[in-house]
Chains A and B, each alone.
Chain A
């Protein structure tokens, strides 16, 4: 009987203690799952917009982001190191904007081996283990740029030059292919030159100068990324050829938009970084929950020109940050 009484006492104590410790929390705070987001760089409005989209998705799908990025978007080794680091923390999925098509394949596969699904955004990574790629169809974007150039050039047989700064960049190469493929169906168009040079304003200026000093001057330039666009636009402005030589670019920065408004740049093919960030995290959350995600998702590119740049929808897209 005495032993029984003792047991009773202890049981009562334990029960009341556990009851007290449990009953306070009515909010049911469930542990959020972690998703790693490794971008190409943390510089620039483009990547900030990707991050904004990712944050919006993280809030919506109740996940926490572990965010990191190397300082430079050509730094593949630094990025590989960051991925390795993040793989050691408890993450449910990895969202990666790879800085190199081949170099990041190994870490991506390492992640998959550890049961962490990998979603790539913006730039592809050369591995069959990638669950999903979300980004711009750059070939299509290239075709759009070519189309726009054809709209603006008024001469019967336009002479076009193409300029890029990142020769090894897969996205840029795809754009170039898109442009070239389009022009093959327009025999009157001559592609005078396709050049990849360093992202140095002086070098770009000299190249543009050379094209324009030629005996047969060119009618239009397609600049395949931001650095090239700014360099070309500056040179055109200095030479007083604003609006005379047509300029079609890719991507947008406030600076480029200023040039667009004043008419130095005729059109720009812009990507959808917000969607990339948003869908990247959304698909990562789905993949972490072992749900099916599409293998490829095209975040459509848009053509922006002076007429539509201040449309309501485009304002939000071109100026995503309220500063």
Chain B
């Protein structure tokens, strides 16, 4: 059969919905699981927001620290150069003449201490080169006195001027990028003290490399500004001059220390500024927010991954657990269903969780008990049927009838008409009651009447061998009793008790209400029963050859089956004294028809 896959899936969905409505263990698990996972993700979100905020703060702090480091390096660098400058200044002003070879040697030594000193020059106020290390020819068209280092040193001769990096065009042979440091000096020339300017050019490469090496993230960078906002160093300086790039220097210029957020060409950036003391430059660090965010994205990815891992783990564990729990319960259910169908031979496997184990044990015990009860019922039903059959047999006892009819014949032969009449009448009454329209239960009155007729017939047969008394409480007469329970016992008393006596026997039948029970007593003064025999009778082991005990047991069983515990039959006997059988049955009022 071909089924449409979509429909198939649909029916699966339907059954899934249905399964949601029924409250099974797995569903409870699923709900608690969902809650757990949700809580986990909530915790993840909280952690993420906390972490990302910290990450941003850390980024600002790191940038600030890196710039601080650059600042230290720069300040250190310039202070070293300044020391050299002071030393040269000292030598120059202390020298007797500017053109002494001594001074030239000293200056050479000073410049030789550092590779990054490009040149040292002493200029007159008119801009002529007086002395220099290394001494090279000046180029034409230098516009020397217009250059900032010269101009500023002339205006503020006592102050060390540090220029922005520029191409030094003074000396022939090269065009180096330098930072010019200059200051007004006084030297002796031709016996006169002259004012001039000392210039030391420092190769810019050291600073350039220092700044180039700094990287703030992947794309972040550092740039330098002079006090008026000109770019001293910028990794994209050329692009900026070519108008391919821009830089927001205005805001950075307002800061001397600190961080702020900025946006350039739509890109948010974190700007940190620090001031290089002495030189007056500003170091500006630029880091891109999206890189900080990228690390944040990485963090979120990490968190999601960890959460997904644990969620998956919990999922698996709880699937396993719920399966562990529900499986034995399912098994129990299946077994119960088999029992329900009538198969009592099954039993549960005792395995699984402790609770399930206990449940299995209880279940098995219950099944065993049911099985036992069923067997008992079957047994009892069989016994009942058997005893009823025996009653039927007792109703028409051919032996008794034969004996009675025999004695009637004898009575007729001797012409005892009255006795015949009595006997036949009693026999007729006896049979009427014993049949009693097939009813099992008759009134006490009828039962007593039945036994009286029996005794009358027996008295006719045995003449004056015994006498009997029937003593009844009037109240007892209208209660009900199983029929034919007295006659077998009386028969026993006659045959086994009274018949073998030399003297006249006595049989007394009493019926009375005692508490909540009806008590029927059959007493005789016969030979009695030995204790051993009595025990056998009660255990049902008495031989049935002589018939003794069979009647007793039958009565006892019938009462027990019909009325149940604690009713029944009790025998007390003493040899040569007599026997007393008491029957105790519940009080049941006669039904009025």
Asked if B238 and A316 sit within 8 Å, CB to CB, the answer is yes
Known: A8-B320, A310-B167, A323-B177. A28 touches B297 (CB 8 A): yes
Asked if B140 and A261 sit within 8 Å, CB to CB, the answer is yes
Is B205 part of the binding interface, using a Cβ–Cβ cutoff of 8 Å?
yes
Asked if A4 and B323 sit within 8 Å, CB to CB, the answer is yes
Asked if B177 and A322 sit within 8 Å, CB to CB, the answer is yes
Is A38 part of the binding interface, using a Cβ–Cβ cutoff of 8 Å?
no
Q: Nearest 10 pairs between A and B by C-beta?
A: A26-B298, A313-B241, A322-B208, A28-B298, A315-B167, A322-B177, A19-B309, A274-B238, A322-B205, A262-B140
Interface stretch, picked from A56-64, A70-78, A284-292, is A56-64
Is B562 part of the binding interface, using a Cβ–Cβ cutoff of 8 Å?
no
**Interface members, chain B 150-194 (any A CB < 8 Å):** 166-167, 169, 172, 174-177
Cα-based distance from A257 to B167 in the complex (angstroms): 12
Is B302 part of the binding interface, using a Cβ–Cβ cutoff of 8 Å?
yes
Asked if B299 and A257 sit within 8 Å, CB to CB, the answer is no
List the A side residues contacting B264 at CB < 8 Å.
Answer: none
List the B side residues contacting A258 at CB < 8 Å.
Answer: 139, 172, 175
Question: Can you list 12 residue pairs at the A/B interface with Cβ under 8 Å?
Answer: A15-B309, A28-B298, A53-B238, A59-B219, A257-B175, A258-B172, A258-B175, A261-B139, A262-B141, A272-B242, A317-B241, A323-B177
Q: Which of B218, B242, B306 contacts A275 (CB 8 A)?
A: B242
Asked if A310 and B305 sit within 8 Å, CB to CB, the answer is no
Asked if B169 and A26 sit within 8 Å, CB to CB, the answer is no
Among B167, B218, B237, B301, residue most surrounded by chain A Cβ atoms (within 10 Å) = B167
Asked if A319 and B174 sit within 8 Å, CB to CB, the answer is no
Q: Which of A12, A26, A312 contacts B299 (CB 8 A)?
A: A26
Asked if B167 and A26 sit within 8 Å, CB to CB, the answer is no
**Interface members, chain B 296-332 (any A CB < 8 Å):** 297-299, 301-302, 305-306, 309, 312-313, 316-317, 320, 323-324, 327
Q: Would you give the shortest CB distance from A167 to chain B, in whole angstroms?
A: 32
Cα-based distance from A261 to B298 in the complex (angstroms): 56
Cα-based distance from A5 to B236 in the complex (angstroms): 62
* Complex: chain B residue closest to A4, CB-CB: B320
0/1 string, A276-315, CB within 8 A of B gives 1: 0011000000000000000000000000001000101101
Known: A12-B316, A306-B141. A322 touches B219 (CB 8 A): no
Asked if A12 and B295 sit within 8 Å, CB to CB, the answer is no
0/1 string, B480-521, CB within 8 A of A gives 1: 000000000000000000000000000000000000000000
Is B454 part of the binding interface, using a Cβ–Cβ cutoff of 8 Å?
no
Among A1, A5, A257, A322, residue most surrounded by chain B Cβ atoms (within 10 Å) = A322
Among B139, B174, B230, B238, residue most surrounded by chain A Cβ atoms (within 10 Å) = B238
Q: Would you give the shortest CB distance from A102 to chain B, in whole angstroms?
A: 31
**Interface members, chain B 89-140 (any A CB < 8 Å):** 139-140
List the B side residues contacting A272 at CB < 8 Å.
Answer: 242
Asked if B205 and A323 sit within 8 Å, CB to CB, the answer is yes
Cα-based distance from A322 to B175 in the complex (angstroms): 10
Is B294 part of the binding interface, using a Cβ–Cβ cutoff of 8 Å?
yes
Asked if A262 and B175 sit within 8 Å, CB to CB, the answer is no
Q: Which of A263, A274, A320 contacts B140 (CB 8 A)?
A: A263
Q: A1-B324, A16-B309 are in contact. List 10 more A-B contacts (CB 8 A).
A: A12-B316, A22-B305, A23-B305, A62-B218, A254-B175, A258-B172, A261-B142, A278-B244, A319-B175, A322-B205
List the B side residues contacting A4 at CB < 8 Å.
Answer: 320, 323
* Complex: chain B residue closest to A16, CB-CB: B309
0/1 string, B382-415, CB within 8 A of A gives 1: 0000000000000000000000000000000000
Q: Would you give the shortest CB distance from B18 to chain A, in whole angstroms?
A: 25
Asked if B175 and A56 sit within 8 Å, CB to CB, the answer is no
List the B side residues contacting A53 at CB < 8 Å.
Answer: 238
Is B281 part of the binding interface, using a Cβ–Cβ cutoff of 8 Å?
no
Asked if A278 and B169 sit within 8 Å, CB to CB, the answer is no
Interface size class of A (residues with CB under 8 A): 35 or more
Is B3 part of the binding interface, using a Cβ–Cβ cutoff of 8 Å?
no
List the B side residues contacting A26 at CB < 8 Å.
Answer: 295, 298-299, 302
Is B235 part of the binding interface, using a Cβ–Cβ cutoff of 8 Å?
yes
**Interface members, chain A 85-133 (any B CB < 8 Å):** none
Asked if A310 and B169 sit within 8 Å, CB to CB, the answer is yes
List the B side residues contacting A154 at CB < 8 Å.
Answer: none
Is B239 part of the binding interface, using a Cβ–Cβ cutoff of 8 Å?
yes
Is A215 part of the binding interface, using a Cβ–Cβ cutoff of 8 Å?
no
Is B463 part of the binding interface, using a Cβ–Cβ cutoff of 8 Å?
no
List the A side residues contacting B143 at CB < 8 Å.
Answer: 310
Asked if B241 and A316 sit within 8 Å, CB to CB, the answer is yes
Q: Would you give the shortest CB distance from B287 to chain A, in whole angstroms?
A: 14
Is A25 part of the binding interface, using a Cβ–Cβ cutoff of 8 Å?
yes
Q: Would you give the shortest CB distance from A217 to chain B, in whole angstroms?
A: 25
Q: Would you give the shortest CB distance from B61 to chain A, in whole angstroms?
A: 18
Is A27 part of the binding interface, using a Cβ–Cβ cutoff of 8 Å?
yes
Asked if B244 and A275 sit within 8 Å, CB to CB, the answer is yes
Cα-based distance from A317 to B320 in the complex (angstroms): 73
Known: A27-B295, A323-B177. A316 touches B141 (CB 8 A): no
Asked if B295 and A274 sit within 8 Å, CB to CB, the answer is no
Asked if A262 and B139 sit within 8 Å, CB to CB, the answer is yes
Cα-based distance from A275 to B243 in the complex (angstroms): 10
**Interface members, chain A 1-17 (any B CB < 8 Å):** 1, 4-5, 8, 11-12, 15-16
List the B side residues contacting A254 at CB < 8 Å.
Answer: 174-175
Is B204 part of the binding interface, using a Cβ–Cβ cutoff of 8 Å?
yes
Asked if A19 and B242 sit within 8 Å, CB to CB, the answer is no
Asked if A25 and B298 sit within 8 Å, CB to CB, the answer is yes
Q: Would you give the shortest CB distance from B235 to chain A, in whole angstroms?
A: 7
Asked if B295 and A15 sit within 8 Å, CB to CB, the answer is no
Known: A56-B235, A262-B140. A8 touches B316 (CB 8 A): yes
List the A side residues contacting B167 at CB < 8 Å.
Answer: 310, 315, 318-319
* Complex: chain B residue closest to A53, CB-CB: B238
Asked if B176 and A27 sit within 8 Å, CB to CB, the answer is no
Q: Would you give the shortest CB distance from A20 to chain B, in whole angstroms?
A: 10
List the A side residues contacting B327 at CB < 8 Å.
Answer: 1
List the A side residues contacting B139 at CB < 8 Å.
Answer: 258, 261-262
Cα-based distance from A41 to B174 in the complex (angstroms): 24
* Complex: chain A residue closest to B242, CB-CB: A275
Q: Would you give the shortest CB distance from A214 to chain B, in whole angstroms?
A: 29
Cα-based distance from A248 to B324 in the complex (angstroms): 95
Q: Would you give the shortest CB distance from A276 to chain B, in whole angstroms?
A: 11
* Complex: chain A residue closest to B302, CB-CB: A23
0/1 string, B60-95, CB within 8 A of A gives 1: 000000000000000000000000000000000000
